[in-house]
Amino acid sequence: MSPNISKKKPVLLKRKAYFLFLIIFALGYISGFAQSSDNFVDQRDGKQYPIITIGKQHWFAKNLDYKIANSWYYNDSDSLGKIYGRLYTWDAALNTCPDGWNLPNDSDFVVLEKSLGGKSNVCFEIKEKGTKHWAKPNTGASNKSGFTALPAGFRSNDGTYKEVSLSTYYWSSDLRENKQPSYFVVNNDCYEFLNDVTILWEFPKTNGFSVRCLKKP
Distances (CA, A) of 125 to 13, 77, 128, 214, 217: 38, 28, 8, 18, 23
Mean local confidence (pLDDT), 3-8: 49
Question: What is the DSSP secondary-structure string of 131-175?
Answer: SSSSPS--TT---TTS--B---BEE-TTS-EE-TTTEEEEEEEEE
| 31-43: pLDDT as tens digits | 344 444 579 999 9
- The pLDDT value recorded for residue 23 is 41
Give the whole-angstrom CA distance, residue 174 versus residue 180: 9
- pLDDT tens digits, 130-149: 999 999 999 999 999 999 99
| Cα distance between the two ends of the chain | 58
Segment 30-55 mean pLDDT: 80
Please name the residue ranges forming H helices in the chain.
3-33, 78-84, 90-94, 106-115, 122-126, 197-200
* Parallel/antiparallel/unpaired status of strands 48-54 and 154-155: unpaired
Q: What's the Cα-to-Cα distance from 178 to each of 167, 175, 216, rounded to whole Å? A: 24, 8, 27
CB 61 within 8 A of CB 148: yes
Answer whether residue 20 shows pLDDT above 60: no
Share of the chain above pLDDT 70, in %: 78
Q: What is the pLDDT of residues 70-121, one digit of tens each?
A: 999 999 999 999 999 999 999 999 999 999 999 999 999 999 999 999 888 9
Encode 109-146: b = buried (16+ Cβ within 10 Å), e = exposed.
Answer: bebbbebbeeeebbbbbbbbeeeebbeeebeebebebb
Q: What is the pLDDT of residues 163-212, one digit of tens each?
A: 999 999 999 999 988 888 999 989 988 865 544 444 446 789 999 999 99
